[in-house]
Amino acid sequence: MKKVLLVVFCSLLAACGFQLRGQAALPFDTLYISSPAGHPIGTDLRRLIKSGTTTRIVDNPKDAEATLEIISVMNDRQIMSVSGGGRVREFDLRYRVSFRLVDAKGVELIPVDEVILHRILPFTDAQVVAKEGEEAMLVREMQGDAASQIVRRLGSVKVAGG
């Protein structure tokens, strides 16, 4: 019975067009990443590109066919709702990354663009420490999602002659 269900499940997945992501095909062989000093999004981008593409990350922009410039990274939170007693019940966490991609000649392949992500954080006064940990986890998750979106956008670039 389990084998039959597995076959049916696999058939349904195949019928809906599901497939694993696999490697992204970036239109350049070498890439330099310029990010704010020590910011973890640069680390996430390097890891994703090294593990999911054939593109090599270089340490010198002069050796790169393209440069990914992370212009700014901001995360903040806004109060989304309050109780009748004026206590915060939910926060809207926001994560925004501005970036651009230029080739070795300085031509913009991706003009300044942004990835903006939101997550809702329910909040209770009784669990302040736990909610701080949850907020940090959500911010880290948004950072990883932003890096993935940037890599997918890099994969959609059309390079002259390519």
- Cα gap 13→89, rounded to integer Å: 39
The tens digit of pLDDT for each residue in 65-106 reads 999 999 999 999 898 888 888 788 898 999 999 999 999 999
Q: Which two tokens stand for residue 135?
A: 């907020």
Q: What is the pLDDT of residues 42-64, one digit of tens each?
A: 999 999 999 999 999 999 999 99
154 CA to centre of own chain: 12
pLDDT of the residue at 8? 53
Residue 67, CA distances (Å) to 30, 73, 109 in order:
9, 17, 10
Query: Spelled out in words, what is the top-level CATH class assigned to the domain 23-155?
Result: alpha beta
Whether residue 117 contacts residue 146, with contact meaning beta carbons closer than 8 Å, is answered with yes
